């Protein structure tokens, strides 16, 4: 079913299921509860809801009184203010104009009421999580800043431009409806290989699944053991090589590492048969083999990010099962291996939705990147959706030029069989954490066999891989693990250049099962985790050797220059 802005079926179904959960918790029958047998939970919620309603009416009176007194120039307390960092109500009218002030105060109060109402319900935690998520979607969508008639900035701009801003906004809206995507950045502002993904190197191998890039050295001496990076196949690899000032690839080569990068193919219809095993065996494992062959090293060091880390960890478990010792250490960046607490992405996953996908694309087909991109945008709709709606459609402004948002909009497809296997076995059934529960490439998988030194990074505000979930990797691997918690979120927390010396990270030698206990014992360090990581990696990089100026080898000669053509392919 086609919907505006590539809204996937899971999003619409999630809204319906959240509504059904709400109805049921209030004691109102739905299709599976017509006799009211599931309505008993409403009794335990009713007292809390009654108190909440009484408190809401009291606060509504206080807010109204506050606005009236402020308008009369009288001192008043009891007003509500947006959360720190919420810039929606920065215009002076929201403070100085009594009507706008009342509108803002009412919205903030009603938002709080909706949030507290959900928390007051007595219901299954999984259902409550879904209801929280979709309640937040509605609350953020109904902000008065999202509508022309109730946004003073929009009205002022329309007046100043004699309506031209509204006309431009309508043109922008029609253009986005035509292409089916919400524009979040100027997609013509950057060119892959020219403005982003500019580190020098060459493609030294390719198959139907990925290209392997080797980067040119930046130092006269390099570590004997190279570094292989396996990025997520859900996004393109150049998030790790955006521009020279924030390139993780650049940082690594400048610190004397020979860097190889997996560049996943952006699947089209011809790739609709690829499964999870293909990404493990013909992707990560093949890349490890070729990296070691080209470098001639006894072992290599590997890095995996997000689902790339899940693929890499699976590959390492299989290699260790086979007695392969070609990897010296593993680094996982915001990677989930234990999916018991999957965060907001879990609201889209249940048996019914997974089975529907398996019946449509599970045996062959493509999960469109535009749909997946919409899902990720909803996880941060206050930052990624509604500001762009206001600026692009209500104010008629052109989209901003921002490399990270350009990357975010450069979506990738996924093969249907691979996606369905991943969602069922990871998000739905959480099988990977259980030794020998899963079989991949014909062998049982036990993460405990990964007895390698491991550097595990999580980020405290991660909305895709909650840091407490990433922490559980420390109890799954069989080797010594250094866990580091970085500031910020899933992307900005990882791409935190050492040269800018921003943010901070937490470290602790304490080893325990409980993430909260670990955090309580951790010390906060200023600056980027990159410096901590490069110091840790040196122990596994071996001695320094003269850098080779020739990329590739006789068996794997260099081909097209980096970043290669796979990363330039657009999802269709």
Joined tokens for residue 29:
């029958």
CB burial of 368-399 (b: ≥16 within 10 Å; e: otherwise) equals bbbbbbbbbbbbebbebbbbbbbbbbbbbbeb
CA pair distance 180, 310, nearest whole angstrom: 31
Residue tagged 């250049």 (tokens): 497
CA pair distance 397, 291, nearest whole angstrom: 47
Distances (CA, A) of 200 to 214, 228, 253, 567: 9, 16, 10, 15
Say how many residues make up the chain: 572
Phi, psi angles (nearest 5°) of residue 8: -75, 160
User: 364-367: long-range contacts at Cβ-Cβ below 8 A with a sequence spacing of 24 or more?
Assistant: 364/272, 364/273, 364/416, 364/417, 365/272, 365/415, 365/416, 366/267, 366/268, 366/269, 366/271, 366/272, 366/413, 366/414, 366/415, 366/416, 367/413, 367/414, 367/415, 367/416, 367/419
Helix, strand or coil for residue 189? coil
CA pair distance 273, 21, nearest whole angstrom: 36
Considering just the CA atoms, what is the radius of gyration of the chain in Å? Answer: 26
Residues 6+ apart with CB under 8 A from 136: 115, 381
C-alpha 530, offset from chain centre: 20
Picking from 202, 201, 198, 213, the residue whose alpha carbon sits closest to that of residue 287 is 213
Do residues 564 and 213 touch, judged by C-beta distance below 8 A?
yes
Picking from 339, 353, 341, the residue whose alpha carbon sits closest to that of residue 15 is 353
CB burial of 297-313 (b: ≥16 within 10 Å; e: otherwise) equals bebbbbbbbbbbbbbbb
Residues with a catalytic annotation lie at: 306
Residues 6+ apart with CB under 8 A from 53: none
Give the DSSP H or E segment for 483: strand 481-486
């Amino acid at each position: 079913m086609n919907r505006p802005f590539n809204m996937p079926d899971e999003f619409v179904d999630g809204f319906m299921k959240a509504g059904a959960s709400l109805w049921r918790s209030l004691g109102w029958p739905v299709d599976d509860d017509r006799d009211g047998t599931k309505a008993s939970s409403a009794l335990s919620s009713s007292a809390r809801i009654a108190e909440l309603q009484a408190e809401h009416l009291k606060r509504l009176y206080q807010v109204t009184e506050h606005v009236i007194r402020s308008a009369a120039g009288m001192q008043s307390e009891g007003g509500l203010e947006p959360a720190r960092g919420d810039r929606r109500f920065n215009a002076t009218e929201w403070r100085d104009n009594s009507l706008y002030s009342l509108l803002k105060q009412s919205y903030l109060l009603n938002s709080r009421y909706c949030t507290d109402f959900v928390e007051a319900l007595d219901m299954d935690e999984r259902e409550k999580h879904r209801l929280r998520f979709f309640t937040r979607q509605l609350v953020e969508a109904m902000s008065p800043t999202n509508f022309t008639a109730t946004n003073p900035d929009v009205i002022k701009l329309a007046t100043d431009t004699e309506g031209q801003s509204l006309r431009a906004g309508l043109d922008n809206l029609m253009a986005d409806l035509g292409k089916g995507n919400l524009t979040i950045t100027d997609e013509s502002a950057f060119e892959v290989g020219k403005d982003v993904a500019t580190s020098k190197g060459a493609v030294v191998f390719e198959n139907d699944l990925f290209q392997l890039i080797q980067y040119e050295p930046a130092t006269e001496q390099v570590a004997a053991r190279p570094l292989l990076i396996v990025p997520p196949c859900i996004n393109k690899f150049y998030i790790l090589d955006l521009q020279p000032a924030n390139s993780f690839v650049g940082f690594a080569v400048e610190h004397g590492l020979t860097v190889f990068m997996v560049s996943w193919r952006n699947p089209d219809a011809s790739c609709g048969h690829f499964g999870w095993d293909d990404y493990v065996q013909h992707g990560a494992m093949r890349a490890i083999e070729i990296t070691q062959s080209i470098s001639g090293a006894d072992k290599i060091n590997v890095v995996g990010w997000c689902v790339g880390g899940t693929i890499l960890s699976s590959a390492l478990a299989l290699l260790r099962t086979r007695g392969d010792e070609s990897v010296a250490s593993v680094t996982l960046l915001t990677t989930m291996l234990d999916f018991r607490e999957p965060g907001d992405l879990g609201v889209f996953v249940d048996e019914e939705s997974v089975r529907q996908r398996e019946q449509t694309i599970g045996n062959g087909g493509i999960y469109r990147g535009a749909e997946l991109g919409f899902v990720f945008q909803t996880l941060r709709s206050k930052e990624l959706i509604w500001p762009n709606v206001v600026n692009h459609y209500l104010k008629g402004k052109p989209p901003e030029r921002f490399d990270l948002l350009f990357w975010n909009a450069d979506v990738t497809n996924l093969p249907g069989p691979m996606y369905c296997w991943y969602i069922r076995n990871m998000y739905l059934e959480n099988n990977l954490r259980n030794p020998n529960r899963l079989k991949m490439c014909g062998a049982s998988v036990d993460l405990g066999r990964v007895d390698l030194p491991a550097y595990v990074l999580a980020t405290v505000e991660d909305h895709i891989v909650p840091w407490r979930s990433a922490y559980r990797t420390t109890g799954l691997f069989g080797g010594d693990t250094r866990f580091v918690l970085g500031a910020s979120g899933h992307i900005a927390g990882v791409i935190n250049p050492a040269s800018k010396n921003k943010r901070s990270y937490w470290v602790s030698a304490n080893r325990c099962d409980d993430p909260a206990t670990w955090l309580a014992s951790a010390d906060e360090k200023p600056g980027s985790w990159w410096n901590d990581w490069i110091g840790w990696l040196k122990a596994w990089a071996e001695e320094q050797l003269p850098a080779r100026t020739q990329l590739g080898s006789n068996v794997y000669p260099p081909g097209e220059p980096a970043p290669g053509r796979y990363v330039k392919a657009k999802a269709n």
